[in-house]
Amino acid sequence: MKLWLLDADIIIDFLSLDVFDKLVENHKVFVATTVINEVKSFKREDIKYRIDFRKQYVVSNLVKEVSASSGEIKKVIHNLPPITHDTIHPGELESLAILVREEEITFCSCDAAVIRALPFLDLSERGISAEMLLKASGLLKSKLKERHTDQYFKNNLKIGRENKILYFESNS
């Protein structure tokens, strides 16, 4: 049983694809407190569904809530280039701080800015695309968006690695 830390976009997309319930049945899924508060609705077949994510998944113990301290979040911010500070949302920052602390967890996101931040935190190997997570879980759907693909994830990870090199070269 793998341990996954999921971003709000991934949760919303997996709810929309109707694979989230199966994912939490088969795996230990962790979600940052801030992310739990961000998941309020999803769309499936053009119908918008409101959701009380905390009540439906956290209180029922299907998803484990984890939090990062403000000090842990500040440490993540300190390790990222200033240009990224406005592009990474609070839930993502908290998730990255948890990922730094919890070494056995793998992080899944489809947000380019967050994926590009992983190399700055030496976490490139601990991130996974939505496509690979679904494939590993036997839940792969054919109607994935481009941002869910492994190619998209790898391309953004590569950009992050290049940005890290350029950032440290220009600041040395």
Task: Show the domains of the chain with their CATH numbers.
Answer: 3-170 (3.40.50.1010)
DSSP 58: I
Q: What would the pLDDT profile of 121-149 be if each residue is shown by its tens digit?
A: 999 999 999 999 999 989 987 778 999 99
Q: Which of 104, 10, 40 is nearest to 66 (CA)?
A: 104
Predicted TM-score (pTM) of this structure: 0.92
What are residue 48's DSSP bridge partners?
43
Digit-coded pLDDT (tens) for 32-56 = 999 999 999 999 989 999 999 999 9
